[in-house]
Structure 1
C-alpha cells in the first residue's frame, strides 16, 4: 500500500495540472456537502454539551397538537410540561436517576443604580439542574436542594458564561456580589461553564431557581401551581439498564394516572420520552424538510463534481493506456493496477476533502451566531466538530469510489496487443462513449440546479413583494413590560394608557397603538378554542389556534390591517361589556362558515365565556413570509390585559428618526422600565423574514453556479479531447476544401447534441424533483414556465460558448501539420 501511495504521489507530481483541477473540483462538491451537514449537525444532531449525553432524554407532554417553548408551532404532538406535572413525574418515576425542569425567563437588568434597566434572557431551573446534567460550574457552585423548596425565599443566581464575560470582565470576584434583577437583589453563587451556550439554541444570561419565579413578576403567580401552564422543558438521565421503550411505557402509565387524578387540566394529556434530536424536531418542525431540500441540492453538486473528475480520469487513463498495458504485460495483475489507480483517486479525494473543509470553515464562520429575532434570542452556533470531520472523511472516500472505480476498470480492460500498438483505447467513434455519458449527466444535473435556483429565487421574490396583510413602511415598534420592575396589573394598565397618550404628542407621530404580537417576531400565544356549532372530527374537542394577539382599539388602523367584514374594536369594548373578538379570514372560513360576524366561540374549559366575532381581518403572514394561510384571533386589550405589549407608532416621515424620542418618552414616564427593543418594521421584516429566505436562495444559487461551472468544464474537456483526436480528420477536411465555418459547425453540432441530450434528461429530473418538493414554501414549483424556459436556454447558450473555444481552435488547424500526425 505504501508503494502504491508513493507511486500515486509521483504520478500526480508529473501531471500537476490534472491533479489540481481534480482536487479543486471534488473540493467544491465536498465543501458544500460538509457545510450543509454542519448546519444539520448544529440544528438537530449535535449532542447536548453534558457528560454522557446519550443518557439524557426529554420527557414531553403528548397532545394532538401543541405549542413548544422553542417559539414555533409543532406539527407533531409533543410539548412542554407544567411544573406540577414535572414534580409528579420526578417523584414517582423509576426510570430516571434524575429529572430537571427549566423555562425561559426575561428580567430587567441594570449594571448600576443610575442606568436604565435592559432586558436579559435566562432560565428558571429546578434546583437539581446542574447536578443531574453533570455540569460543574466554571466558578462557584450550582443550586442546592434546599434552594428548591420554598417559593420566593432563596434569591441566588448562577451567571451565564457569556454574560459574566461581557458584564464582569470574567472576574472571579463576582462571586458573592449582588446584582439587581426586576428590582430584586440576587446573590451570585456561580458562573456556568461555556458549553451551556448551545443548550436548545438558547444562550442564557443567568440561571435562577424556579422557586424565585413567582416573586420576579406578578404574571408568574401560578407558575408553580397551574397544571395548564405547560411551559417547562423537562430532561433527565435514564438509569443504567433502562431502555427508552421501558421509560416511555412508564411515562404513559404515569400520565394516565395524572389524567385520572386531574381530569379538568390533564384530560387527553399523555407523556413520551424523546431523544434530543426528536425534541429539536418537535420544537422546530420545519428544519428536516429545509435541510432535506438543501441536501438534495448539494448532493447534486457532488454528483456533478464526481462525474467531472471521472471524466478527467477517463481521459487521463487513455493517455496512460500504453503505460498501463506495459505494466500488465510484464506481470502486474489487473487487480494490482486497479488498486493503484484507486489509491490515486483516494489521494485526490482526501486532498479535495481537506480543501473542502477549509471552504466549510469559511462558510461556517459566515453563519456563526445566526440569530432569530425574538424576545428570547434563539441563536445557533455552527462549528466544525468531530461529526463534521467524520462526515467529510466518509464523503471523500465515497467520492473516490464514485469517480475512480469506473475509470480504473475501463483503463485496465484486457486488450493489451491493440492498446500497445495504438497507444490508447479507441472510443472516439462511439457517439455515447463513457465520457459523453458523463458530460450528459453533468449538464442534466446542472440544469436541475439552475431550475431549482430560479424557482427558489422567483418564489422568494414573489413572497417578499406580496402584501403581508399589514403595513410595514413608516412603522416603528417598541416592546415593553412594566411587570419586570414590579408593576401591578392596575399600574401596568395606567402605564400603557400614559404611553399611548405621550406617544401621540411626539412631533412626527401620526398614530400609535398597542399589540401583544408582532408578525415575524416569534412572540407566540396559542389557544385552544371551541367554535359554536362546529362539527369536530372523532376524538377532537377543540381547535388549536397557533397564535393570537391582544390589541387596542387603534391597532387595525395604525398597523394597516384591513377589516374585511364587521368592525374592529371600540373603546366601548370593556370588561363589563360582552366579550368580543376579531378573527382572520382563514379562521372564519374554516370554522364559522358564511356570515361569520355575529357567531361565537369560547376558549377551552367548561367555564370559559362565549365570545362574539365582531369582525374579520384580512389574512396576514404571522410566522414567516412563505407560510401557508393560518388561523389567527385578535382579542381586545381592554378585556384581556397583558403585561408585555408592543408599542406601534406610525410616522409621517422616517420612522427610525423617532427611536430616540420614543426612548426619552419612556424614561420620562419611568426610567426603570426596560425597553426590550426598538426597531422599524422594515428592519424586522428584513432580518426575520427576508434574511432567512436570502440564505436559502444564496445557497441554492451558489450550488447551481458551482454545478454549472463544473458541467461547462466537463463539456469543454470532452470537446477539446475530441478535437485533439480528430486533428488528422479535420486537416483532411480543410485540405479538400472545408472552410473554417463548416469545421466549427461540425464541432459545435457535436457539443449541441450532448447539451440537448443533457437538457432533456435535466428537464425530466427537474419536473420530478419539483413535484417531490412542491409546497407552500415554493409555490412556483413544479411548473414555473420562466424557470423551465430560461434555465435550459441559458444553459444551452453557455455550453455552446464553452465548446466554441476548442471549436475555433479546430477551425484553425494547419492541414499540412495535421496530415503529418501519426
Structure 2
C-alpha cells in the first residue's frame, strides 16, 4: 500500500470518529497557529527587520558613558570631522528627526521629518519607489530645496498618486519640491518627509545642534578595525572639546539592529518560547487522544499484523494518520495565525519595534508552519504508534477481544502524558501570573506626581519662523496666559519633552565637588506652576518663582536622586551646577552655572526603566526651547482640548498643535503598554494551555472509568456509596494534578529567571504567583475529574453485570 493510500485510509478513519478528529485538529490548530503567529513577529522584528542593503555593515557611531548610557548624536562640526577623516566607511550619514511644520494648505500640521545628508539613500542602499534620490545638482548652493515622501504619508495624504512628483510643500516655511517617494518598508527614523540638505561647519539644522551618525563600512572591514580607525578622530575631538565630550566617554560601534532597544527582542523570544510550550501541550493532548482511541483500534491493528503486515508498515500507517491530522491542523492554524497576528499587531506597544518591521503571513512564515506541522506529527504520533505496534500486538486476537492485557502500561503512559501537560501548563500560568502581578504593581506604584486631570499637548515652534529667542519667549508666555484664562484650567505650565516619557539631558558638573559622574542629567525647562500642575512635593527650599522665570534668572531645582548622586546626600540649596555644553551653539550661554534653590521629591521620570534619573528644573526663558504644555483641569482634561487649541491658534493661526491627550493616556501608551502586551499574550497562551490540560485530565479519567466500569459496578453492588465512588475516581485526577503541579513548579523555578527582564517591582520568584497557579490548577483539575467521576457513581450494577 502506497503512502497516499495510507493517507486515504487515514482520512476515512478520521471521518468515522468526528468528535476525536475535531478535538485533535482544533488542538493542533491552536498550537500551530499560535506558534506561527509569534514566529511571524519574531521573523519581522528580529530575523529580517530591515530592508536596507547589508544592514550588518551599517554602524551607529556611539559613545558610552561610565554609567552605561549610549549617545550617538554629535554637533555638525564633529560629524564632518568623522565623515572626512575616516578611511573605513563607504559613506557616513548624518540625520536628525524633528517635528516639521507643514503650512499653506488648510489647518497647520506637524509632520515627522528626517533632516538628512544628501547621500542618505545611497548609503542606506534603497532607491525611491517612484521619482529619484537627491542628485549632485541638488547640493549646489542656491539649488531649490527638495523633499522625498515616506510611503505611509504618501498613501495617507495623497492617496498614492504618482502625480505628486514635482509638487511643492511648505515645510518649516521653506518651499520644497517633491522629487521622490520611498518604498513602504523604508522607514528610516519613521519619517513622513525626508529633507536632504548640505551640512556646513558652524551651522545647525533648522535649530537642531546635533545629528545622528550612521556609517556604512567598506566590505571586509571588521567592527574592531573600524573602531581603531574612528578612535583617533574622537580623541582629537575630546582634546578640543573636553567639557562637551568628557574623556570618560568611550567609543562604541553598534550595528543597525543593535540601535533598537533589546527589551522587545527579549520579550518576543520569551513569548515565542511560551507559545512553544502551548504547542507542546497541544501535541501531548493529541497524543493522549490517540492513545485513548488505541483501545478501540487494537483489534484492527492485530488483524493487520496477523495477515502479515510488518511492524514498520503498521507504524507508517499510524504516522501517516498523525501527519494527516497535523496537516489539517496546520492549514487551519494558518488561518488562526493570520487572525492572531492582526490582534498582536493591534496590541504591540508604540515605539518598541523598528518602523521597518513588516509582520505578515509570508513565505518564510508559511514554511515555518509546514515544518512545525511535520514536527508536531512526529511528536504526538510516535508514542501511540509504538504502543499500538508493540510486542503484544496479537493479544487482542488471542483473547477474542476480551480482557485488558496491556491496559496498565497504557494507563501509565496516558497518565505520564497528562502529568507533562499539567507541568507545561503550570509554566505558562506562572508566567501569566507574574505578568499580572507586574502590571498591577506598575499601575499601583507611586509615580511621585498625580496623572489624573492633566492634559498634555505639544506646540513645537518652527526655527524658521521663530529664530529670535525673544519672539519665542513672547509667544510661549502669551499662550500660557491665554490658557490660564480658560474656565476649568486650574494650573498651566510648560516643559521641553514629555516627562515621564522623554526629557532631554546633558552632563553637568557641581562647582566645588569632586564627583566625576558624566552621565546625563534630565533638564526640564519650565515655569513657576509646574509643581502645581503635576502635584510634586517640595522637600527643601522653594520652587521657581514667576519673577525669576521672567527675568531669566539662573536658578535650579533638583530632585533627591541628584542630591544623592552629585552631592553625596549633603546640603543642596545654594550649590552651583554647570551645564558645559550650553556654552556652545545653539545655546551660546555666557554663563552656564545655575544656583540650586530647592529640592523636590523623586518622580518616575523614565517609564522605560526602573531607575530614577537625576533631574534639574530651570526657567524655560533661558533657552526658550520648551515645546509641551501641561494643564491641570478642574474636571475631565479632554473637555479643555478645543478651548486650548483655539487660544493657541488665536496667538498664531499657523502654529500646529499635536499629541493632545491626557497624562493617563500617555502612561497607558508608554508605561503600561509593554507590560499589558506581555500580560495579554501570556494570559492567552496560558488559558489555552490550561484548557488543553484540563481536556487531557478529563480524557484520562474518563478512559480509566470506561476501563474499570465493571469493577466500579461490583463495588457499588457490594455497598460502595456515591461519595466513595466519587472519591475513588477523583483520587486518580488528584494524583496526576499533584505530580504535574510539582514538576511544573520545579521547572518554573528553574526557568523563571528568563522572565526577569519582563518583571518589574516584584521578584520573578514571587510566592503569591506560584501559589495562585497551584490553587487554580487544583481547583480546575478536580472539576474536570468530577464529571467522569459523577458518571461512574451513577453506574447501574445490574446493567454492568449483564454486559
Give the TM-score normalised by structure 2. 0.89
Aligned counterpart in structure 1 of residue 161 of structure 2, from 134, 150, 171: 171
Alignment of 1:366-381 (within 5 A): 366-368=343-345, 381=358
Query: CA offsets, 1:264-316, max 9 Å, x none?
Result: 35656666665443x2xx32132233223323432222222121112112222
Deviation at 1:164, TM superposition (A): 2.3
Deviation at 1:251, TM superposition (A): 1.4
Residue 106 of structure 2 corresponds to residue 109 of structure 1: no
Query: CA offsets, 1:226-273, max 9 Å, x none?
Result: 6xx3x325253x65xx33xx3323311321231243233565666666
Q: Distance in 1 between matches of 2:4 and 2:737?
A: 42
Query: CA offsets, 1:384-433, max 9 Å, x none?
Result: 23332233333333322222222222222222343433459745446971
Q: Distance in 1 between matches of 2:518 and 2:86?
A: 32
Deviation at 1:609, TM superposition (A): 4.2
Residue 557 of structure 2 corresponds to residue 582 of structure 1: yes
Equivalent pair of 2:263/2:757 in contact (CA under 8 Å) = no
Equivalent pair of 1:580/1:611 in contact (CA under 8 Å) = yes
Residue of structure 2 equivalent to 1:64: 64
Does the residue aligned with 2:147 lie in a helix, a strand or coil?
A: strand
Q: Distance in 1 between matches of 2:570 and 2:249?
A: 35
Alignment of 1:612-691 (within 5 A): 612-624=595-607, 627-638=609-620, 640-691=622-673
Higher mean alpha-carbon deviation, 545-554 vs 178-187, is at 545-554
Deviation at 1:158, TM superposition (A): 1.4
Q: Distance in 1 between matches of 2:582 and 2:148?
A: 42
Q: Which runs of 5+ in 2 are unaligned?
A: 584-590
Q: Distance in 2 between matches of 1:386 and 1:221?
A: 44
Equivalent pair of 1:318/1:425 in contact (CA under 8 Å) = no
Query: CA offsets, 1:525-576, max 9 Å, x none?
Result: 232334567777xxxx543237432222221222211122333223454698
Aligned counterpart in structure 2 of residue 352 of structure 1, from 329, 342, 345: 329
Q: Distance in 2 between matches of 1:771 and 1:76?
A: 24
Query: CA offsets, 1:730-767, max 9 Å, x none?
Result: 12112222233322221112111111222222232333
Query: Cα–Cα, structure 1 residues 343 and 779, in superposed 2: closer, same or farther, change >3 Å?
Result: farther
Equivalent pair of 1:248/1:272 in contact (CA under 8 Å) = no
Equivalent pair of 1:369/1:382 in contact (CA under 8 Å) = no
Equivalent pair of 2:303/2:397 in contact (CA under 8 Å) = yes
Alignment of 1:151-300 (within 5 A): 153-197=143-187, 199=188, 202=190, 204-211=191-198, 220=205, 229=210, 231-234=211-214, 236=216, 242-243=219-220, 246-263=221-238, 264-265=240-241, 274-277=254-257, 279=258, 282-300=259-277
Does the residue aligned with 2:671 lie in a helix, a strand or coil?
A: helix
Q: Distance in 2 between matches of 1:138 and 1:398?
A: 40
Deviation at 1:346, TM superposition (A): 2.6
Query: Cα–Cα, structure 1 residues 85 and 14, in superposed 2: closer, same or farther, change >3 Å?
Result: farther
Equivalent pair of 2:130/2:162 in contact (CA under 8 Å) = yes
Does the residue aligned with 1:672 lie in a helix, a strand or coil?
A: coil
Query: Cα–Cα, structure 1 residues 95 and 328, in superposed 2: closer, same or farther, change >3 Å?
Result: farther
Residue 459 of structure 2 corresponds to residue 480 of structure 1: yes
Higher mean alpha-carbon deviation, 702-711 vs 806-815, is at 806-815
Does the residue aligned with 2:557 lie in a helix, a strand or coil?
A: strand
Query: Cα–Cα, structure 1 residues 575 and 61, in superposed 2: closer, same or farther, change >3 Å?
Result: farther
Does the residue aligned with 2:508 lie in a helix, a strand or coil?
A: strand
Equivalent pair of 1:251/1:272 in contact (CA under 8 Å) = no
Query: CA offsets, 1:637-662, max 9 Å, x none?
Result: 34642434211111222221211111
Does the residue aligned with 2:323 lie in a helix, a strand or coil?
A: helix
Does the residue aligned with 1:368 lie in a helix, a strand or coil?
A: helix
Residue of structure 1 equivalent to 2:528: 553
Aligned counterpart in structure 2 of residue 408 of structure 1, from 374, 385, 388: 385
Deviation at 1:722, TM superposition (A): 0.5
Residue 430 of structure 2 corresponds to residue 451 of structure 1: yes
Query: Cα–Cα, structure 1 residues 404 and 373, in superposed 2: closer, same or farther, change >3 Å?
Result: closer
Query: CA offsets, 1:71-121, max 9 Å, x none?
Result: xxx967574566555555555656555554433232111362xx3311001
Higher mean alpha-carbon deviation, 21-30 vs 783-792, is at 783-792
Equivalent pair of 1:476/1:680 in contact (CA under 8 Å) = yes
Aligned counterpart in structure 1 of residue 29 of structure 2, from 3, 21, 27: 27
Higher mean alpha-carbon deviation, 252-261 vs 84-93, is at 84-93
Does the residue aligned with 1:671 lie in a helix, a strand or coil?
A: coil
Query: Cα–Cα, structure 1 residues 145 and 93, in superposed 2: closer, same or farther, change >3 Å?
Result: farther
Residue 123 of structure 2 corresponds to residue 141 of structure 1: no
Residue of structure 2 equivalent to 1:510: 490
Alignment of 1:371-450 (within 5 A): 381-422=358-399, 423=401, 426-429=405-408, 433-450=412-429
Equivalent pair of 1:372/1:379 in contact (CA under 8 Å) = no
Q: Distance in 2 between matches of 1:75 and 1:330?
A: 74
Deviation at 1:17, TM superposition (A): 2.4
Equivalent pair of 2:77/2:201 in contact (CA under 8 Å) = no
Residue of structure 1 equivalent to 2:770: 788
Q: Distance in 1 between matches of 2:151 and 2:447?
A: 39
Does the residue aligned with 1:209 lie in a helix, a strand or coil?
A: strand
Does the residue aligned with 2:504 lie in a helix, a strand or coil?
A: coil
Q: Which runs of 5+ in 1 are unaligned?
A: 67-73
Residue 545 of structure 2 corresponds to residue 570 of structure 1: yes
Alignment of 1:457-468 (within 5 A): 457-468=436-447
Residue 361 of structure 2 corresponds to residue 361 of structure 1: no
Give the TM-score normalised by structure 1. 0.87
Query: Cα–Cα, structure 1 residues 658 and 131, in superposed 2: closer, same or farther, change >3 Å?
Result: same
Does the residue aligned with 1:623 lie in a helix, a strand or coil?
A: coil
Does the residue aligned with 1:32 lie in a helix, a strand or coil?
A: helix
Equivalent pair of 1:59/1:271 in contact (CA under 8 Å) = no
Deviation at 1:471, TM superposition (A): 1.6
Query: Cα–Cα, structure 1 residues 527 and 39, in superposed 2: closer, same or farther, change >3 Å?
Result: farther
Residue of structure 2 equivalent to 1:69: none
Q: Distance in 1 between matches of 2:617 and 2:354?
A: 26
Residue of structure 2 equivalent to 1:11: 13
CA RMSD of aligned residues (A): 3.3
Deviation at 1:465, TM superposition (A): 2.6
Residue 314 of structure 2 corresponds to residue 314 of structure 1: no
Deviation at 1:802, TM superposition (A): 0.9
Q: Distance in 1 between matches of 2:56 and 2:353?
A: 24
Residue of structure 2 equivalent to 1:70: none
Q: Distance in 2 between matches of 1:655 and 1:574?
A: 26
Does the residue aligned with 1:433 lie in a helix, a strand or coil?
A: helix
Deviation at 1:712, TM superposition (A): 0.5
Query: CA offsets, 1:169-197, max 9 Å, x none?
Result: 33333222221111111112222232324
Residue 800 of structure 2 corresponds to residue 807 of structure 1: no
Residue of structure 1 equivalent to 2:588: none
Query: Cα–Cα, structure 1 residues 475 and 797, in superposed 2: closer, same or farther, change >3 Å?
Result: same
Q: Distance in 2 between matches of 1:484 and 1:92?
A: 31
Query: CA offsets, 1:657-697, max 9 Å, x none?
Result: 21111111111111111112322222222333334432222
Equivalent pair of 1:771/1:781 in contact (CA under 8 Å) = no
